[in-house]
Each structure stands twice: as structure tokens, then as C-alpha cells.
A and B are shown apart, each in its own frame.
Chain A
């Protein structure tokens, strides 16, 4: 068997990095990690915990393999895997990430009893009627009346916002925060062009649309320039 270096250990001031070869077989890699880490004297003197970054280059690891590698490394006394870095992700994962940052336009009235659920940002061209629900993993923009329930950041994104042409919801939710309509809603208030976000006090605040520029500058995705 030819002797190659499948595992290279590098020390930096932030800790250790394991560079794992991305061409050899996964089993060879595992064996070599095992061997390298046990033989190396580097780790035996140190008492405190050492965090390691693992870089696997262009190798695709399944979740199980990632866990296996982490376990393998963790067994070596004082090592903790901080992160496994790879250049590749599965197509499914890539599509999921695309979807999550996509703006999804929907032209529809969401009526009582209906639930519209999407991954990404929702741009609803229409109303959400009382008893209707819209839910998005990202932000929710309603070009119309929001009179039902809106749940933004539904998978746990507290940065998400809800904006509506007319903001008269029965309930607002952002991530895990819930805010229901006040029992006494002044009839004559127009509540037009408003937004909702989670404020510093961890509560849902409703304000003029324009405050979002300051509160959520990341909403702007336009990269600009030619």
C-alpha cells in the first residue's frame, strides 16, 4: 500500500485544523484519522480542551458520516470538533437554501379557514381575511388587508418582519413571539403601511413601515452596481 498523507494536522493560534483528503475512500480516511490522532503526541501533554476545525474539501459527508467523524475525534481525550467545513452541499440542501431566501409572490385572497404556508419570503398580492392564516419561514409582505393571522420566521427566525398595506391582524407571530390584537381596536384608525418586528424587549412591536430601514437593514438584498 502506497503511503499518502490523507490527514494533515495544522496548528493555528485559534486552535487546530484537520485537513482531510477528499479523494481517498471514506474508510481509509477514518482509519487514518484514528491512527494519526492516537500516535500524535501533540495532544497528550495538553490538559485543556482543544477545539478543532475539520476541513474536508470537496468531500460530501452524510449526516451519519459527520457524526461518526465527530465521535471519532472526540474520543481522543481533549479534542472538541467545532465545525466540519465542506465545499459541497447536496442538491436538495442547495434547493432548500434557495427556497428559504426566495421571495414567493402569491396573488390570492386567503379566506377564513385557509392556511398559506411557504418557505422563504411571502409577497401576498391580496388580503388575509379574518380566520385565514399566512405562514412563512422568512418575511411576510401583504399588499392588501391583513385581518387574519400572520406568522413570519416560522422556523425560528426572530429577525423576520411582517408588513402590510393595512395592518389589522387578529394575531401576529414572529418566530416564537405572539401578539394578539388589542380587544379595543379604535375603529377610525387606518393602520395603513405598517410593519411588525421583534423589538429589543423581545416583544412584537408595530410601527410605521419606514422604521424597518433602521431596524432591519438586512432586508435590503440589492447588491447594487453593474
Chain B
């Protein structure tokens, strides 16, 4: 029986889809069987970022409404043998086409066949969010080092903490620009984690390669040399239970580093 992880943020455009695609791919690279589920109905993206857009035949709403079986809708990613699948969102319906109860059933069914179900959540706290968390066991909250994104992350964490079936969420800080952080023009990692008071599971630098890779339909984790790639792979390893220290930002001061180590119990 696998586990379902929802990737959410509150605020739009902070990197949920990018994080879902890369964590999912990294887990598949580690030999796990992974199913990505795009719940952003009406604004689907995950298929594009994964480069699977052309192979979609059925979608999530087709499955929910009984027009096809789950396995018919799953798009297989040929790059990873039998390890990575995508259940695409519908592009033509809207978020009210699905109910949380139906999502829960569907995710539970997927958990029989896969080690990890990664659920890409739409922005906001309405129906789409409710659907996305309905079947989840764990949650990853993505934020950027901006006050507004952190505020929305806080709101989402508050909502997630009310979900009885979801474990205490973990934080990913995305799009970090180390020079801005160093100059104090961006919230620093320590500030964000103390404010949100949840565990940090990874930090990802702002990296042009991420955008390039997404445009080619190739998640950045497939490029072994970029920093963002290593960051996403480290997050995957932490999900698998390894204790991996955070990558150092070039400009990081000693004080911050020792605090980061603390989060992962590294001496």
C-alpha cells in the first residue's frame, strides 16, 4: 500500500507543479512506482511539464464520471519503464466536476498499485484544494521567500492541520536567490521556518534551467548537474526517510547553516 502526498501552496505560481513533477520523477529514479495526479482541473500543466501532453486520451473527470477505467486514463512515462505514470486533469470541465469523496476513493485505489501518489494541487483554498487533499496522507507546502507567499502558506498549513488524515505538512522553499537573501532583500530561511513552524524538507534555488527544462517537457531532475536538480533529488531522498543535509547556499553564513542542520538532526 503506497502513500499519497499532496503538493500545495495557497498562492499561485510558486512552483507546485514543478515540485510535483520533479519529486515524482526523482522518486521514480530511485526505483519507486509513482503516479502523478493533476487536480488542477481546467488549468492542467503537469502533463506539459512532464512532456506527456500528446499522449492524453482520458482524464481525471472521465475516470470519476465512469467513462473509462483508471488504468485507461493513466499516461505511462516511457523514460522510466514501468515506474512513472500520470493521471491528467481535465481541461474542459471545472473544479466542481469532482467531489472530495470521489477523489478519496480514486486515490485509495491508486495506492494499491503505486508506492507514491503525488497530487498536484491547484492554487487557492476552494473546491480544487479540497479535492486535492481529500485522499492525501501527507502534504508538502511550497512557498517562495516572499511575504505574500509565506502568508498564504501559513493559511494553507492552518487548513491542513485540520485534516485528520493528513500528517503534519513539510515545507519546501522554492526560488531562493542567494544574493538577495544575503542582502536581506528576501526573507531568509530561518525567518520563514520559524514563522511557519513546520519542518523544512527542502530548499530549491531559483534556476533558469528549471524553466528551460519545463519548456522541453523534461523535469530538471533529469539534468544531473543543475543545483535545482540536486535539491529536488534530495527532497525525494528525505521523503524516503534518508537524512540528507541541506545544500549550502553559496553565500550562507555559518549561523544559518547550523540552524539548518538542526532541522535534520545532523551534527
Q: Which residues of A contact B (CB under 8 A)?
A: 109, 111-114, 126-127, 129-132, 145, 147
A131, B155: Cβ atoms closer than 8 Å: yes
- A112 adjacent to B197 (CB under 8 Å): no
Q: Please tell me if the beta carbons of A127 and B154 are within 8 angstroms of each other in the complex.
A: no
Of all A-B residue pairs in the complex, the 10 with the closest CB atoms, nearest first, are A111-B158, A112-B155, A112-B154, A113-B155, A111-B154, A114-B158, A129-B154, A109-B197, A112-B151, A111-B157
Q: Check A131/B197 contact, CB under 8 A, given A111-B157, A111-B158.
A: no
Report the separation of the CA atoms of residues A132 and B196 in the bound assembly, to the nearest whole angstrom: 12
- Encode contact with A along B140-183: 1 for CB under 8 Å, 0 otherwise: 00000000000110110111010000000000000000000000
Decide if the interface of chain A is mainly helix, strand, loop or mixed. loop
> In the assembled complex, how far is the CB of residue A91 from the closest CB belonging to chain B, in whole angstroms?
33
Give the A-B contact count at a CB cut-off of 8 A. 30
Evaluate contact between A129 and B195: CB separation under 8 angstroms: yes
The residue in B152, B155, B157 that gathers the most chain A C-beta atoms within 10 A of its C-beta is: B155
Q: CB-CB < 8 A to B197: which residues of A?
A: 109, 126-127
Bound complex: CA of A126 vs CA of B151, how far in Å?
Answer: 17
In the assembled complex, 29 residue pairs joining A and B whose CB atoms fall closer than 8 Å, in A order, are A109-B197, A111-B155, A111-B157, A111-B158, A111-B161, A112-B151, A112-B152, A112-B154, A112-B155, A112-B158, A113-B155, A113-B158, A113-B159, A114-B158, A126-B197, A127-B195, A127-B197, A129-B154, A129-B195, A129-B196, A130-B151, A130-B154, A131-B151, A131-B154, A131-B155, A132-B154, A132-B158, A145-B195, A147-B195
- Please name the residue on chain B nearest to A129 by beta carbon: B154
Give the dominant DSSP class at B's interface. Answer: helix
Residues of B close to A127: CB separation below 8 A: 195, 197
List chain B residues, Cβ under 8 A from A126. 197
Which of chain B's residues 231-249 have a Cβ closer than 8 Å to chain A? none
Point out the residues of chain B lying under 8 angstroms from A113, CB to CB: 155, 158-159
Cα–Cα, bound, A127→B154 (Å): 12
Nearest chain A CB to B136 CB, angstrom units: 19
Contacts of A130 in B (CB 8 A): 151, 154
**Nearest B residue to A130, CB-CB:** B151
Closest-by-CB residue of B relative to A148 is: B154
On chain A, the residues within 8 Å of B152 by CB distance are: 112
Closest CB of chain B to A51's CB: distance in Å? 54
Residue of B nearest to A109 (CB): B197
Q: Please name the residue on chain A nearest to B195 by beta carbon.
A: A129
Q: How far is the CB of A192 from chain B (nearest CB, A)?
A: 14
A29–B19 Cα distance when bound, in Å, is 78
Q: How far is the CB of A113 from chain B (nearest CB, A)?
A: 5
- B195 — which chain A residues lie within 8 A by C-beta? 127, 129, 145, 147
**CB-nearest residue of chain B relative to A144?**
B197
Q: What 8 additional pairs, Cβ within 8 angstroms, besides A112-B158, A113-B159, A129-B196?
A: A109-B197, A111-B155, A111-B158, A112-B154, A113-B155, A130-B154, A131-B154, A132-B154
> What residue in chain A is nearest B198 (Cβ atoms)?
A109
Most B CB within 10 A of own CB, among A109, A126, A130, A147: A109
Q: How far is the CA of A129 from the CA of B152 in the complex (A)?
A: 11
Q: Give the docked Cα–Cα distance between A111 and B197 (Å).
A: 10
Q: How far is the CA of A178 from the CA of B158 in the complex (A)?
A: 26
Q: How far is the CA of A109 from the CA of B158 in the complex (A)?
A: 9
Give the complex CA separation of A109 and B152 in angstroms.
15
Distance of A126 Cα from B158 Cα, bound (Å) = 14
B155 to chain A: which residues have CB within 8 Å? 111-113, 131
